Structure 1
Amino acid sequence: MRLFTRRKESIQDKFESHVIQALRDSNINEINDTNEDRIKEIASEAIRPFAAKIGAQICASITRDRKSFRINKRTDRGFNKRLRRRYGKAFEAYVISTACALESVTMQEVNPDASLDENEQATRFALLGLHAKGCRVAGEVYALLHNGYPEGALARARTLHELAIVAGALADSTNDPAHANLAVRYLEHEVIDARGSAIRYQKDHIQLGMEPLEQGYLDELEARFQSAVAKYGPDFKKDYGWAKEYCPDANIAGLESKVQMSHMRGYYKLASNEVHAGSRGIFMNRHEFRGETAWRAGKTNVGLAEPASMALNSVHQLTVMFLVHGKSDSMDIETLAILYALDELRTRAGELFLEAAREIRQAELEFRASLRQTP
């Protein structure tokens, strides 16, 4: 009996040949009721080595297939070219706005001022650190926008918003004697997360195939942890425990309301769907295009304005917090002029993203209209 026709074997065909050979190697030459269980056992045992062998062959074939790679690369390059033609001015304005925000802070004296007390130095250090991280995250947002991933950019813009909220709380505390040490608490809360991460790692390091942490390091963390809890109370152990006295509802939503940024809650919740694995995020990832609905699994040229504006606003807020509350000297006319210039830059950049989005929407409407007119 001919098992295969004269054609290229499929994976299923190859597997059947593999099983037949395994049966022959086991001295089973006939299929009958007396050895059916043994046949099933041998066939089952043959699956894993066969799949591993074929998988390696497929991997090697794909790796050698440079033609497909070049086609995908050419398609990607074409999309990026069209995206930058549409958003070129907006991208340029975004880079200028965020670069100026960074430069406006680096122009300031970054070394601690000896005239500042402990609370003021902590506030300055924390605001400077939040601003630096914010500028880096803004660069990540840009990288995602520049390559057609607005949903990913929105997720990183969410992080920027959180940084701005914390900076707002620390800046607000500078005018409140009752909470003047909020930045100190914020910085010292680092040991809570560090200890928690160390305990988790120590528990999982064997399964991870990693070396355990040194006991001396763990003892040092534990001593710092106990000291901080003794100093600030048991609530300090919780997430946002550093803010419990300043804001009894010590979570990101409570702080957001406290510093009067709750008008951004809707955007924050929207962005959260791009961070977490809830079902809402799945439904949001389906989109309609010219009468068809599909999952979005790649790049797009729509939806860039929202994450861009959210990121630009947060970077501006972080910059304002430092220039107003993180400097060692009082507000002067130069700083005030810089703040106005930065506000103008971020506003202009946001408008350019909206303008590009409107142009794309109008071009799509015109294209659909031309299809309806085609005989």
Structure 2
Amino acid sequence: MTADFEFEIGAQPPANDPLFEDFWTNFQAEADSPSSSPSNAAALRAMLSEKYGAGFAAMDLMHSTAVEAINWASETVHAALDDSAEDDAFADYINLQVGLGGRALLAFDEVGWLLRGGYLPGAWAHLRTIHELFVVSATLGLQGMPDGEYPDLVERYVHHHQVFTPSLARDILAASPHVGSKLDEDVLQALQLKRQSLISKYGSTFARPWGWAAPILPNGNPTFSSVSRLVLPEFSMFYRIASAHLHASSEGLNEAWMQQDPRTKFVRAGPEDGNFAAPAILASGLVIGVLGAIVPISITTSPSNNFITGGRYILGALTRIQHQIAIGMSA
């Protein structure tokens, strides 16, 4: 190779360089000058809004309906509970599911706005978050209810992040020594003692990324894949697809390139049209799955035997809205 190239990772503006300052002044003037025509991105988003308008409206309707459904379920469930240890445990369970539902709906809303902007890879990445939340929610719903086979799963999940807090605190302290006044030795020791007490209580596998779910696995080796296979085995391929948009693996390169000629590639780094239906339909289906663990299809209270069935109709309405999403996003 006859050419010699020099690169600088972490480049800074040239110091005391008049030519750079002239360049920067001209660059800002050009960037600030008004444009007489809409940008390509603005024109594309206008087209997407017209093409998928019905689908976007249905996604908005699902989000607002699901928010109301979760809040209704929380209020209704708590109103039916008594002041007893058993009901307190169920309150903890439903509160956890409500939190998971809130996170899922936030990610679902983000999927909708990313699709509005033309960012299909970003929508797939957020779909992966909803998938993970569904796996947690379904696992707790199937195995971790207070009267279930593993009632301690709720407590295990809630406290699980604390086994990683000491290493996070040390990393923060190493990167920003000035926070030492808050993360002093007493704090670090308290965090470490909490980690040790959790591992002593739940076992060494608890310190693994999905260690909270270890009891439900025959081999005791908790990973996302192993837990997911218990509740949604057929979804593994979609998880792989979404992961390519989230991680820095080479699998995602093909969507970042534009072929200029057999040797030269340019970047694709802006909004595009594409198969918007797949992430929208899958995201809405997973959200409905999460709500299935929050919104009861019936509630029978005693001794009055009051029978409440509103949840079944709410979930039914959400499935109809998902059908509207499928039609609107398949334009």
TM-score by length of 2: 0.81
Q: 1:109 aligns with which of 54, 57, 74?
A: 74
Is the contact between residue 137 and residue 290 of structure 2 (CA under 8 Å) also seen in structure 1?
Answer: yes
- Alignment-derived partner of residue 264 in structure 1: 235
Instruction: Decide whether aligned partners of structure 1 residues 240 and 60 sit closer, same or farther in structure 2, where only a CA change above 3 A counts.
Output: same
Distance 2:170 2:38 in 1: 44
Counterpart check, 1:255 vs 2:236: no
Pick from 281, 289, 296 the counterpart of residue 309 of structure 1. Answer: 281
Q: Which amino acid aligns with 2:291?
A: T
Give 1:85's match in structure 2, choosing from 35, 50, 53.
50
Amino acid across the alignment from 2:311: T
Q: Deviations over 1:41-63 (max 9, x none)?
A: xxxxxx9646x544443333222
Give RMSD over aligned pairs. Answer: 3.0
Please report how far the alpha carbon of residue 126 of structure 1 lies from its aligned counterpart in structure 2 after TM superposition: 1.4
| 1:60 maps onto 2:25 in alignment | yes
| Counterpart AA for 2:179 | E
2:91 maps to a residue whose letter is Q
Deviations 1:177-211 (A, max 9, x none): 431111111001121232231122122224xxx52
1:298 to 246, 254, 270: 270
Aligned residue number for residue 4 of structure 2: none
Partner residue, 2:324 = 348
Q: Give the Cα separation in 1 of the matches to 2:37 and 2:155.
A: 51
Q: Which residue of 1 aligns with 2:254?
A: 283
Query: TM-score, normalization: structure 1?
Result: 0.72
Gaps of 5+ in 1: 1-46, 357-375
* Structure number with higher helix proportion: 1
Q: Which of 198, 217, 230 matches 1:228? A: 198
Q: Write the letter of the residue equivalent to 1:341.
A: A
Match of 1:97 in 2: 62
Shift of 1:70: 3.0
Distance 1:256 1:231 in 2: 25
Percent identity reads: 22
Residue pair 2:101, 2:291 contacting (<8 A) in 1 also: yes
Instruction: Specify the code of the residue in structure 2 equivalent to 1:250.
Output: P
The structure that has the greater radius of gyration is: 1
1:171 maps onto 2:141 in alignment: yes
Residue 128 of structure 1 corresponds to which residue in structure 2? 98
**Residues 96-129 of structure 1: CA distance to partner in whole angstroms, max 9, x if unpaired?**
0121111111113349643444542332121111
**Secondary structure, counterpart of 2:179 in structure 1:** coil
Is the 8 Å Cα contact of residues 312 and 350 (structure 1) preserved in structure 2? Answer: no
Counterpart of 1:321 (choices 281, 293, 317) is 293
Distance 1:89 1:127, change over 3 A: same
